[in-house]
DNA sequence: TCAAAAGTGTTATCCTTACACCCATGT
DNA sequence: ACATGGGTGTAAGGATAACACTTTTGA
């Protein structure tokens, strides 16, 4: 790709040595909880991190490099994989490293069916709301947000000009909604970035020495090494968004499942509760599933039909997905957690 | 980001030297046509290419590096910028380069308001359908697709097993639709990748020495250097998709515009025709525009109200955009081209 | 018998699509 | 007068969201 070099004006500015880190957000849903695979912490490594490794000559494609590293580090082999974003800003680098060999991380989202519990190494599955407690609205508005609200307002009112204060208030309204209403579950990354900027989140303080407004709020979740929590936020946002127009949830489901299991998986990802009868109709009317003929036994109630994903849906609809919105009342299922 | 190095198992495999290329797809809409800014061709550079340059130490952020390069090469300063994808597979490198210092390109989408015609350098604006003639359905089904169809079927029927043939037929149906129906304007990248794989497109033959099924079909559009046509396809796909749930079109419009101009911009991007009365209602009902009070004169008919983008729409709707679908009949406007 | 989950019916409302039609200006 | 684009009315059909209600199991 050097052939066009001459076309530019001042090209020979000396490209710095760069290392590429391939980083994976590996997601599964078990027992109606969204889980993500992390490594550590260990000696000499204070924080947990996502599986990741440098791109080498032996990797023909970026994705192949990612799969190789993940398998080596976690024993997990990946099915569905999708590139998320490339992070490479200076100044957000881990201070320990220094800036000398610049590192870019290319983040990936991977979906797997079963968290085969840590066969290899120190890989462990964690509920992803451990890192984003404010993102789980399934049991109602999370209390941690109460702690954020004064910090957010203080930041808004600390704007220099009237215009800036207005912009800040608007930004808060868009990302976090107005106290409880207008919550948009897709804006995971926007919320993390705002929290990072304001200093709600531990990483803000680690990354820069300058004083931030807020002193790392209580309930701001578990931090990860480097940019990894940002990458995780990107993954959750992408997955929540994509669910709505592409049948990605099924990558997380076993070959046969009940409609309730499917609903709980969607709820787990989106962090909201859904209306059961309407959810079922949505799924069936979109033609996303078909009968297997089998039924489950002993789920604590009437046996449920087992269904499977119906691939033909891809041909029939331009955007086959689950365009869901939170139920006003708790119209879903009774007890959650252990399914 | 080296702090977690120890957490992995066999990390020290020697990361190869890598060059990062920042590549921009710069889009504008003028005279109801979608345009993209390219460089060349020139001496020693047979093909056109997108503005791009290597990431250097001086670039604090990737985006800032991109802006700097684009401004140097084209004189164009960028407004809205969004990262698209990072391309880095070996084997798709330009053969001239060889593989030694591996190059990744990070593709960006930029939207600008006015193609201030090539003040600097050799930058020129081109209709983007020059590179993707099959993507413009505004005047009905493009004839070039007739030429593709036999090639696609031949490829499908050349599958080894019955299963593979079925998979291939399905893939064709999803990406290109069944002869004219089921066209999904968002699947620009899928179509390019299929065309590349089959050999419809010139790049397939340039990149690999192996014989392909088809000998670079007629009407397969103008090729670009390196991965650039793929990056352009990614940009168009992203833009077509994003229009539906985010008000990005307005980044391409002047401060005040008529509803017809807006419709023509959307049609230009999506490559389909829309139903005029319904489009207007959609826009107004979504609250995306507000009156300026002014009207246009002499547009060949009754003077039109000039409207502007209404920022408050962002606060009111979770996904403010123009969820459009092709009109069955030509219900739009009369003559196109010169607006 | 009751709790728990599965599953059906029905309605009001909104959004989408298509059709038909009128309005205001320039040539 | 008529062409061109601007703009409104409205009705059919489909998708949603909320409501209430029945069915089938296990403890």
- pLDDT band for position B182 (50/70/90)? confident
Predicted confidence at residue A122, as pLDDT, reads 77
Predicted confidence at residue A53, as pLDDT, reads 95
Predicted confidence at residue B16, as pLDDT, reads 66
- pLDDT band for position B89 (50/70/90)? confident
Short-list B239, B238, B20, B24, CA closest to A62: B20
State yes or no: pLDDT of A333 exceeds 60. Answer: no
Cβ neighbours of B58 in A, within 8 Å: 13
State yes or no: pLDDT of B305 exceeds 70. Answer: yes
Predicted confidence at residue B335, as pLDDT, reads 35
CA torsion, ordered B56, B58, B59, B65, to nearest 10 deg: -70
State yes or no: pLDDT of A108 exceeds 90. Answer: yes
Predicted confidence at residue B116, as pLDDT, reads 64
- pLDDT band for position B206 (50/70/90)? confident
Mean pLDDT to the nearest integer, B59-65: 95
State yes or no: pLDDT of A334 exceeds 50. Answer: no
Predicted confidence at residue A5, as pLDDT, reads 40
B61 vs A2, A69, A89: nearest CB: A89
Whether the full predicted model's pTM is greater than 0.75, yes or no, is yes
Predicted confidence at residue B189, as pLDDT, reads 98
**Contacts A–B by Cβ distance under 8 A:** 196
Task: Provide the percentage of residues in chain A whose pLDDT is more than 70.
Answer: 84
Rounded CA gap, A204 and A196, in Å?
A: 5
- A252-336 has which CATH code? 1.10.10.10
Rounded CA gap, B332 and B330, in Å?
A: 6
A11 vs B20, B53, B186: nearest CB: B53
pLDDT digits (tens, 9 = 90+) for A209-237: 554 555 666 789 999 999 999 999 999 99
Cβ neighbours of A173 in B, within 8 Å: 315
For residue B55, give how far its alpha carbon lies from the nearest alpha carbon of chain A (Å).
6
Predicted confidence at residue B6, as pLDDT, reads 38
For residue B277, give how far its alpha carbon lies from the nearest alpha carbon of chain A (Å).
23
Q: Give the list of residues 6+ apart from residue A311 with CB closer than 8 angstroms, or none.
A: none
State yes or no: pLDDT of A13 exceeds 50. Answer: no
Chain C, protein-covered positions (CB within 7 A): 3-10, 15-20, 23-26
Q: What is the CA radius of gyration of chain B?
A: 22
Predicted confidence at residue B26, as pLDDT, reads 98
3-state secondary structure of B293: strand
Predicted confidence at residue A182, as pLDDT, reads 85
- pLDDT band for position A118 (50/70/90)? low
CA atoms within 13 A on the CB side of A54: 21
The per-residue DSSP string of B174-188 comes to HHH-BTTBT--TTTH
Residue B107 neighbours by CB distance under 10 Å: 27
pLDDT digits (tens, 9 = 90+) for A132-148: 999 999 999 999 999 99
3-state secondary structure of A25: strand
Mean pLDDT to the nearest integer, A121-128: 88
Domain range summary for chain B, segments of one domain joined by +: 7-127, 133-221, 252-336
3-state secondary structure of B76: coil
Beta bridge partners of A52: A23
pLDDT digits (tens, 9 = 90+) for A65-92: 999 999 999 999 999 999 999 999 887 6
A62 vs B88, B173, B314: nearest CB: B88
Predicted confidence at residue B327, as pLDDT, reads 86
Chain B residue with minimum CA distance to A60: B90
Short-list B48, B37, B58, B55, CA closest to B109: B37
- H helix or E strand, kind and range, residue A127: strand A124-127
State yes or no: pLDDT of B93 exceeds 70. Answer: no
Mean pLDDT to the nearest integer, B313-331: 83
pLDDT digits (tens, 9 = 90+) for B240-263: 999 999 999 999 999 999 999 999
Mean pLDDT to the nearest integer, B21-29: 97
DSSP annotation of B171: H
State yes or no: pLDDT of B222 exceeds 70. Answer: yes
Mean pLDDT to the nearest integer, A244-268: 96
- Between residues B11 and B78, which one has the greater pLDDT? B78
- pLDDT band for position A9 (50/70/90)? very low
- Between residues A293 and B93, which one has the greater pLDDT? A293
The per-residue DSSP string of B41-52 comes to -BTTB-SBB--E
- pLDDT band for position A6 (50/70/90)? very low
Q: What is the CA radius of gyration of chain A?
A: 22
Rounded CA gap, B77 and A263, in Å?
A: 47
Mean pLDDT to the nearest integer, B303-320: 93
Predicted confidence at residue B1, as pLDDT, reads 38
Give the tokens for residue B96: 């001239």
- pLDDT band for position B214 (50/70/90)? low
- pLDDT band for position B145 (50/70/90)? very high
State yes or no: pLDDT of A8 exceeds 70. Answer: no
For residue B180, give how far its alpha carbon lies from the nearest alpha carbon of chain A (Å).
14
Task: Provide the percentage of residues in chain B whose pLDDT is more than 70.
Answer: 83
**Count, residues in chain A:** 339
Residue A178 neighbours by CB distance under 10 Å: 10
Residue B274 neighbours by CB distance under 10 Å: 22
Predicted confidence at residue A11, as pLDDT, reads 40
Predicted confidence at residue B338, as pLDDT, reads 30
Question: What is the architecture, at CATH level 2, of domain A7-127?
Answer: Alpha-Beta Complex (3.90)
Query: B4 and A85: CB-CB below 8 Å?
Result: no
pLDDT digits (tens, 9 = 90+) for A35-52: 999 997 887 788 999 999
Query: A2 and B97: CB-CB below 8 Å?
Result: yes
Residue A288 neighbours by CB distance under 10 Å: 23
Cβ neighbours of B105 in A, within 8 Å: 1
**Count, residues in chain B:** 339
Task: Provide the percentage of residues in chain B whose pLDDT is more than 90.
Answer: 71
Tell me the CA end-to-end span of chain B in Å, nearest whole number: 53
């Amino acid at each position: 790709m050097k052939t066009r070099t001459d076309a530019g004006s001042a090209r020979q500015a000396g490209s710095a040595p760069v290392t590429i880190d391939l980083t994976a957000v590996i997601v599964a849903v078990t027992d109606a909880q969204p889980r993500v695979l992390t490594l550590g912490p260990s000696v000499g490594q204070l924080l947990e991190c996502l599986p990741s490794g440098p791109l080498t000559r032996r990797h023909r494609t970026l994705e192949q490099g990612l799969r190789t590293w993940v398998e080596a580090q976690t024993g997990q082999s990946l099915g569905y994989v999708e590139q998320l974003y490339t992070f490479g800003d200076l100044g957000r680098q881990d201070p320990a490293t220094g800036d000398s060999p610049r590192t870019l991380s290319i983040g990936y989202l991977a979906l797997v069916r079963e968290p085969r519990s840590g066969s290899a190494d120190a890989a462990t599955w964690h509920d992803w709301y451990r890192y984003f407690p404010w993102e789980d609205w399934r049991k109602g508005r999370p209390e941690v947000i109460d702690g954020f609200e004064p910090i957010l307002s203080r930041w808004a009112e600390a704007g220099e000009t009237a215009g800036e204060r207005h912009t800040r208030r608007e930004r808060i309204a868009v990302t976090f909604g107005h106290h409880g209403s207008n919550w948009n579950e897709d804006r995971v990354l926007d919320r993390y970035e705002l929290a990072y900027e304001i200093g709600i989140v531990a990483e803000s303080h680690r990354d820069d020495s300058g004083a931030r407004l807020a002193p790392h709020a209580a309930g701001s979740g578990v931090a990860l090494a480097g940019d990894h929590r940002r990458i995780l936020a990107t993954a959750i946002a992408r997955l929540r968004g994509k669910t709505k127009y592409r049948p990605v949830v099924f990558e997380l489901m076993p070959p046969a499942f009940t409609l309730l299991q499917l609903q709980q998986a969607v709820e787990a990802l989106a962090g909201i509760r859904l209306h059961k009868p309407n959810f079922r109709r949505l799924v069936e009317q979109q033609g996303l599933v078909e009968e297997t003929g089998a039924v489950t036994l002993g789920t604590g109630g009437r046996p449920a039909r087992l269904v499977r994903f119906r691939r033909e849906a891809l041909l029939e609809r331009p955007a086959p997905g689950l365009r869901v919105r939170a139920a006003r009342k708790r119209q879903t299922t009774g007890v959650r957690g252990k399914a």
